[in-house]
Structure 1
Amino acid sequence: MSITPEDVKNYSTFESVKNRPETQLKMDILEAVTYVNSKIEKPLKEYENLPDELEIALLKVAQFYALVNGDESIVKGYKSEKIGDYSYTLSDGSNLSMPDVSSLLNGFIPSDEKKTDGVFLRMRGI
């Protein structure tokens, strides 16, 4: 079970996402599923009912891909853009970044891959 284009439209507050064609939203969702699957232990297709945390993570990531894939200014290298009533400016070398969904995915990441404070230490007896 996964999310639908309608779910992404209902979740998003961005008009550009709400007006994005369903076929393109399906591709954005596929990218989101691929991203989330790369981070978690059990593939999403194995869940009969998607846990709320995974659903929200998918919605956030799919919305991100919909914004990025539907924004010509990123491809053309514009410094600022207006989407509906929302406007943003990118400084030199900056770009939009993936939303941090790590706290939503934390319970689904294999325990041997969890890291704390950016440090990972593995010890064994000699």
Structure 2
Amino acid sequence: MPLITPADVKAYSTFPQVQNRADELLAQDILEAEIEIEEITGHLFTDEEFNPLPARVKLAAQKLAQFYAIINSDEALARGIKQERFENYSYTLADGENVSEPDVRSLLAPYIRVPHRRKGVEMRMMTF
């Protein structure tokens, strides 16, 4: 079961492209947000202790789902946005392919079960 519903995302967002987005597409945006949250925290919030879902987790899911809805919106891409800023987000398309997503780590910090894995190679040296 998803952490939030398309209705939750629409109620949270003030952006027309999110509020007018089809529920089926918002469900895909929510899935992307849940994958991001799982990567950060190391779990899916399916345990009974997370029923009801903590407000901080719900807010993080709403922020990420809104972000993905805007980025995945054909309307936004079709307009050829050069640069747009809203709340904590900013992105540039067309000329400069720059996208930054909201940082929800501080919202999710109390629920992290595994330390964030760094990308790359980790080397250890041992002496004999």
**TM-score by structure 1 length?**
0.72
Q: Could you say if the C-alpha distance between residues 108 and 90 of structure 1 is closer, same or farther in structure 2, counting changes exceeding 3 Å? A: same
Aligned residues: 111
Give the C-alpha shift of residue 42 in structure 1. 3.4
Residue 99 in structure 1 maps to residue 102 in structure 2: yes
SS class of match (1:96)? strand
**Aligned position for 1:108:** 111
Q: Could you say if the C-alpha distance between residues 79 and 26 of structure 1 is closer, same or farther in structure 2, counting changes exceeding 3 Å? A: closer
Structure 1: runs of 5 or more not aligned: 83-87, 115-126
- 1:6 maps to a residue whose letter is A
Q: Could you say if the C-alpha distance between residues 94 and 108 of structure 1 is closer, same or farther in structure 2, counting changes exceeding 3 Å? A: same
Given that 2:29 and 2:69 are in contact with CA atoms closer than 8 Å, whether structure 1 keeps it comes out as: yes
Q: Could you say if the C-alpha distance between residues 54 and 25 of structure 1 is closer, same or farther in structure 2, counting changes exceeding 3 Å? A: same
Indicate which of 61, 66, 70 corresponds to 2:69: 66
* 1:8-58 deviations in Å (ceiling 9; x for gaps): 000001000000000000000011011101110332222321111100000
Q: Following the alignment from structure 1 to structure 2, what is the Cα–Cα distance between the partners of residues 111 and 81?
A: 36
Given that 2:9 and 2:65 are in contact with CA atoms closer than 8 Å, whether structure 1 keeps it comes out as: yes
Task: Provide the aligned C-alpha RMSD in A.
Answer: 3.0
**Aligned position for 1:10:** 11
Q: Following the alignment from structure 1 to structure 2, what is the Cα–Cα distance between the partners of residues 53 and 41?
A: 16
Q: Following the alignment from structure 1 to structure 2, what is the Cα–Cα distance between the partners of residues 26 and 62?
A: 9
Q: Following the alignment from structure 1 to structure 2, what is the Cα–Cα distance between the partners of residues 71 and 95?
A: 17
- 2:64 maps to a residue whose letter is V
Correspondence list, 1:46-61, <5 A:
46=47, 47-61=50-64
- 1:45 maps to a residue whose letter is T
Given that 2:17 and 2:75 are in contact with CA atoms closer than 8 Å, whether structure 1 keeps it comes out as: no
